[in-house]
Structure 1
Amino acid sequence: MDTIIFRYRSRQLSLSDIKDIKDTINQYYAKGRTHISQQLCKKWGWLQPNGKLKEYAARDLLLRLEENSFIKLPPRIKQNNNLKRKSFGQIPLFLNQDICGLTGDFSEPTIKRVCPKDRYLWDYLIHHYHYLKLPALVGEHVKHIVFINNQVVACLAWSSAAWKIKFRDQFIGWDELTKRKNLYRIANNSRFLILPWVQVKHLASKVLALSLKRLSRDWQNVHGHHVYLAETFVDTARFKGTCYKAANWLYVGHTKGSAKKGNAYHYHGQPKAIYLYPLHHHFRRLLNDDQG
């Protein structure tokens, strides 16, 4: 049996896997990185539940392997879109008009799933006004943008679940094998932003509730399957998690205070509070389904 030399999420790569990747790169070198990642997905049968190739994950894997000097990728054919994120134009003036009051003073917030044509606005707002800046959303994800009277008030991102969360896994009743099969049924609230000029009492919990109400449906429309549980991690050195508590999320414990960097976990000494929100009455049964 080949020695495991690299781990990426739940996938363990051996020397023969690395050789297979190198052979694929050599074969399709002239066609570029995107084509290489597509061919790798086809070779490995690396598919999303909706049957589409896991291209984002494959590209991220290739980049991480290159960073660790296992492979050498061809030069980029196109400029990395991430570079554009650092040179946003000026925000339109209509976006930063003060909105103050109570939720009852305004019409019901409207939530829209972010499509490609809306991405620039969402990216701009998160880049400029969220303390963590833009997330690297690899794999399945859904973005929401929230309006009151056609005025943008909030942005959210839901992405693939974290892999190793002890108290979440205990709460669900997962063993390792069942988790591997069903982790894709959980969505992680990786970004939540109420814009700084919006001061509306109880708006955050209201927005969370409305976003959760449509989350599984949006996930089904985009990725071809439902999600049954939402998770988030609150940095309690910065925040109290008040809006999650008000929106009836369940606190289940704290993380260990470590994060995955490359192929290993590194202790950073900042444990975060773990909050979960069931999206289905029978979420435990569905998340423990042997069929995945």
Structure 2
Amino acid sequence: MPTSVALILRGRRIESEDLELIRSLIVAKGRRGRCYISRELCRRWNWTQPDGSLKDAACRALLLSLEDRGLIRLPKRRRGVIHGRPQGRGPRQVELPLAEPSGPDLGFPAAVSWRSAREGEDLSLYKALLDSRHYLGYQRAVGHTLRYLAYAHDRPLAAIGWAAAAQKVAARDQFIGWSPGQRLKNLHLVACNTRYLIIPRVPHLASHLLAANIRRLAADWKSRYGYAPVLLETYVDTTRFAGTCYKAANWIQAGFTQGRGKYDRHTRRTKTVKAVFLYPLRKDFRDILTDGE
């Protein structure tokens, strides 16, 4: 008889019947790999993004969380890849100009241009910059994403990444004032700034580029995914940074995380506590995010 299970993971309720389905897929299709199991599970659950695409990345995170709880055993990873990065290799390296743009050479701010780091050389450069210069490195994000590179005179200035919002953050949720049902319905309307790397040391450049990127973000997101976010979030490790560029760009510090991480199930602190910064894209963001159940 199936074990009685009732979990909420990645915004989805998991019952005993769901576990049996997952286990049967692993037995029948395990040789085809984790990605196949994730996509097939999304199709059977009809678990999709607002634009109709499968919630594949969220489903893979859900499966990892179930495995962490000892409820399933996933097949071994194929081709030695974890989070999009081959195992056994060091950080990606990228050759940058020896003379990084600064001061008058930058032509600040008129000379700044933007490229979408979606594929090809731009995506490779984006990954390489983060792996070589950002303390967290590059990691494939869950759900909808946008990645940008800022340039001046064909030299990279910054890499900025956006992705799906965190499932539960007490400080953010209290700031919005939504119920659990409203959060489940409208969470896709919040986007998270997951990475921000500034290369040259130019006064006020970080806040300027952040503000400039935000001005185009909603339109770019809608063009790609069919809807626009109404609120932005980010999390700053205050043991490393003061969040100065976010404050200068008029972000609101709403509080701090509890240091529990995405997959914590013991309600205990296992991660660094981070400052929670929010940026409304619309004046009526609360009305939109608290609409419906």
TM range, normalised to the smaller chain?
Answer: 0.7 to 0.9
Letter in 1 for 2:230: Y
Question: Does the aligned pair in 2 maintain the 1:2–1:16 contact within 8 Å?
Answer: no
Question: Does the aligned pair in 1 maintain the 2:5–2:15 contact within 8 Å?
Answer: yes
How big is the shift at 1:83? 0.9
How big is the shift at 1:89? 5.8
1:109 match = 112
1:119 match = 123
Deviations 1:72-96 (A, max 9, x none): 33444544241179345652243x4
Deviations 1:239-259 (A, max 9, x none): 221111111111222223332
Q: Partner of 1:61: helix, strand, or coil?
A: helix
1:66 match = 67
State the superposition RMSD in angstroms: 2.5
1:206 match = 208
2:273 match = 271
Aligned ranges 1:13-162 → 2 under 5 Å:
13-80=14-81, 81-83=84-86, 86-87=89-90, 90-94=93-97, 96-101=98-103, 105=108, 107-117=110-120, 118-162=122-166
Structure 1 portions without partners, runs of 5+: none
Distance 1:15 1:141 in 2: 32
Number of corresponding residues: 288
Is the aligned partner of 1:252 residue 2:254? yes
Distance 1:110 1:84 in 2: 34
Q: Judging changes above 3 Å, is the alpha-carbon distance between structure 1 residues 78 and 208 closer, same or farther for their aligned structure 2 residues?
A: same
**Greater shift in the superposed pair: 23-32 or 41-50:** 23-32
Letter in 2 for 1:227: P
Distance 2:182 2:249 in 1: 29
Question: Does the aligned pair in 1 maintain the 2:92–2:127 contact within 8 Å?
Answer: no
Highest RCO, 1 vs 2 (Cα 8 Å, sep ≥ 6): 1
Structure 2 portions without partners, runs of 5+: none
**Greater shift in the superposed pair: 33-42 or 4-13:** 4-13
How big is the shift at 1:8? 2.0
Q: Judging changes above 3 Å, is the alpha-carbon distance between structure 1 residues 179 and 53 closer, same or farther for their aligned structure 2 residues?
A: same
How big is the shift at 1:51? 0.5
Is the aligned partner of 1:229 residue 2:234? no
Scaled by the length of structure 2, what TM-score is found?
0.88
